[in-house]
Amino acid sequence: MRTISHNQLYSAVVDLVFQANFSLPAHVYQALSTMQATEQKPLAKETLSILIQNADIAAQKHIPLCQDCGSVIVFLEIGTGVTIDGNPESIIQNAVADAYKNHYLRPSIVKDPLFDRTNTGSNTPAFIHTEIVDGSSVTITVYLKGGGSENMSSLKMFTPTTDIEEIIEYIVTTVKQAGPNPCPPLFLGIGIGGTADVAMLNAKKAVLHKEPHPQEQYRKLEGEILQRCNKTGVGPLGFGGKNTVAMVRIKEAPTHIATLPVALNLNCHSLRYRSIAI
């Protein structure tokens, strides 16, 4: 059995938090550049140009990409052939707290949602989703989600015989109504099927898929949703333009005979995450 030390896991998480906060993944940066080139309206073009400059300044000067350094969402996959020297969840919480403090990242988590909205000061707890997988490595993904775009999340429980057109309409309407609030152009994660909670979690996971869906019917649906959202005219930061959504990704799951949950994760233009296998 392979053993991963406390320090290996701790250092990996600190590094992921750092990378995610200060530099955009290459494909996200590329998407901004592509959209900037295709916009015609001067304000839309200028806005995307500012967002690209923002990414450059963040990386060069070590200023966070966004002042909202997010809720920290961690996807942890532990192989059956590996043991971790210590409780992985507490190691991750400590690493997140230290990384936020040492890199001057904004803590945004409050202790209790209703009765004690005092900032915990460490941006913890991180929200950790652990899965046991085959193999002898540990894969850690750190995903930062800002509050403004998280507030635009949506879940709808459709009836099983609903026409796909109705689902597309719901998605396009949600994006249009959110308008400027979630900081478009959006990276749109869609969870379909499972139970309500599974759909929502899959919407979070879907947005981290770099590649389109492997199945053709879902890939086509992603394309159709992208095209329809971009006809809304919301545009970069809601100032008007062609690019309201940069990317659409779907993650589906088997579901109950009576249900058809559809969950939407509207991620802002600053899709911040990093992943590593150790």
Partner 1 sequence: MKTIDLYTPIIESSVHHLKAGDFVTISGTIYTARDKAHKKIADLVAQQKSLPIDFTNAVIYYAGPSPAQPGMPIGAIGPTTSYRMDAYTNIMLALGVRMFIGKGSRDDEVKKLLVMHKAVYCSSFGGAAAYLNQCVVDAQIVAFEEFGPEAMYKLTVEKFPVIVINDIYGGDLYADV
Positions that interact with partner 1 (CB under 8 A): 42-43, 46-47, 50-51, 53-55, 57-58, 61-69, 104-108, 117, 119, 121, 146-148, 151, 179-181, 183, 233-235, 237-241, 268-270
Instruction: Return the number of the residue (59 or 128) whose C-beta is nearest partner 1.
Output: 59
Minimum Å gap between C-beta 98 and partner 1 is 14
Sign of torsion, CA 248 213 40 32?
Answer: positive
With b for 16 or more beta-carbon neighbours within 10 A and e for fewer, the 146-181 pattern comes to bebbbebbbebebeeeeeeeebeebbbebbeebeee
Instruction: Return the number of the residue (54 or 137) whose C-beta is nearest partner 1.
Output: 54
What tokens were used for 159?
A: 């009836």
Instruction: Return the number of the residue (58 or 142) whose C-beta is nearest partner 1.
Output: 58
Paired with 252 in beta bridges are: 192
Instruction: Return the number of the residue (51 or 175) whose C-beta is nearest partner 1.
Output: 51
Minimum Å gap between C-beta 191 and partner 1 is 23
* Axis crossing angle, helix 216-229 with helix 164-178, rounded to the nearest 10: 40
Instruction: Return the number of the residue (221 or 271) whose C-beta is nearest partner 1.
Output: 271
Minimum Å gap between C-beta 203 and partner 1 is 20
Contact 100, 107 (CB under 8 A): yes
Instruction: Return the number of the residue (241 or 261) whose C-beta is nearest partner 1.
Output: 241
What tokens were used for 92?
A: 């991750």
Minimum Å gap between C-beta 149 and partner 1 is 9
Minimum Å gap between C-beta 10 and partner 1 is 22
φ, ψ (nearest 5 deg) of residue 262: -130, 120
Sign of torsion, CA 32 36 39 44?
Answer: positive
Minimum Å gap between C-beta 278 and partner 1 is 28
With b for 16 or more beta-carbon neighbours within 10 A and e for fewer, the 214-247 pattern comes to eeeebeebbebbbebbbebebbbbbebbbbbbbb
Instruction: Return the number of the residue (109 or 201) whose C-beta is nearest partner 1.
Output: 109
Contact 236, 269 (CB under 8 A): yes
Minimum Å gap between C-beta 48 and partner 1 is 10
